[in-house]
Copies of this chain bind each other. A is one copy, B any other.
Amino acid sequence: MAAARGSALLSTAAILVIGNEILSAKVVDENGPFLARELRSLGVDLRRIETVPDEIPLIIDALRRCLASARWVFTSGGIGPTHDDVTIAAVAQAFGRKVVADDRILSLLRESYGDKLNAARRRLAEVPEGALVEWHEGWLFPVISLENVAVLPGVPSLLREGFLRIRERYRAAPIFSRALYLSLGEGAIAEHLDATVATFGNVSLGSYPRFDNADYRVKVTFDGRVEDEVRQAVAFLQARLPPGAVLREE
């Protein structure tokens, strides 16, 4: 278990969503759920999501916590030329770096804007000193990262494209997942879940009741890095439940 836990820590992530527009309900965040799905499919354990305002001290505080709790950190939002775009400055400060102009971005901005390259547009070239600025063919914007932090734009289409260009570097051992759909409520199965949890330390069990007209009452999920352990845990629980309790397995 120690080994499994150690290797699991190597493939953990945290997401930091930056933006007053999410907190003020002007926009429903799509980036957290998108990254959660992607990370899951890559076998990466997502450990936390924090959504904070466009305020440097709060971003730094959350970023430090994300870095302490996971290997990979993804920020969403706060990139751009306006007053509310403070993510680059916050990431730089969190690592004790200066904000500097990236030469290549700056020269592309000069080409693009000519004498209309004002102070605001120059901000698009700003990166934390020492950041990795990656260009990918056929794509106008670079992906900016600093150590284990990928700094992604908040506009969902841009975030998706940026992430898809770098996603393979995060691929880890796959997570196997099974689910049992039960006709019994949680109160009837809790002791059997406890026994399963106690027996299979490397398998993570979840129990999700329904109170609507679904054709089952509880969905029990089993997640683990070792497929055989997951299957054994499913069989272990199933064997303890009364006949007819399991409606289906997925």
Q: Which of A's residues lie within 8 Å of B, judged by CB?
A: 17, 20-29, 32-33, 36-37, 39-40, 45-54, 58, 80-85, 113, 118-121, 123-124, 155, 157-158, 175, 177, 186-191, 193-194, 197, 204-212, 221, 223
B23 in contact with A157 (CB, 8 Å): no
B26 in contact with A221 (CB, 8 Å): yes
B21 in contact with A211 (CB, 8 Å): no
B24 in contact with A40 (CB, 8 Å): yes
Give this chain's copy count. 2
A209 in contact with B155 (CB, 8 Å): yes
On chain B, the residues within 8 Å of A40 by CB distance are 24-25
Chain A binding surface SS class: mixed
Given contacts A51-B49, A120-B190, A158-B211, contact A29 B23 (CB under 8 A): no
A124 in contact with B187 (CB, 8 Å): yes
Closest B residue by C-beta to A58? B48
On chain B, the residues within 8 Å of A187 by CB distance are 81, 113, 118, 120-121, 124
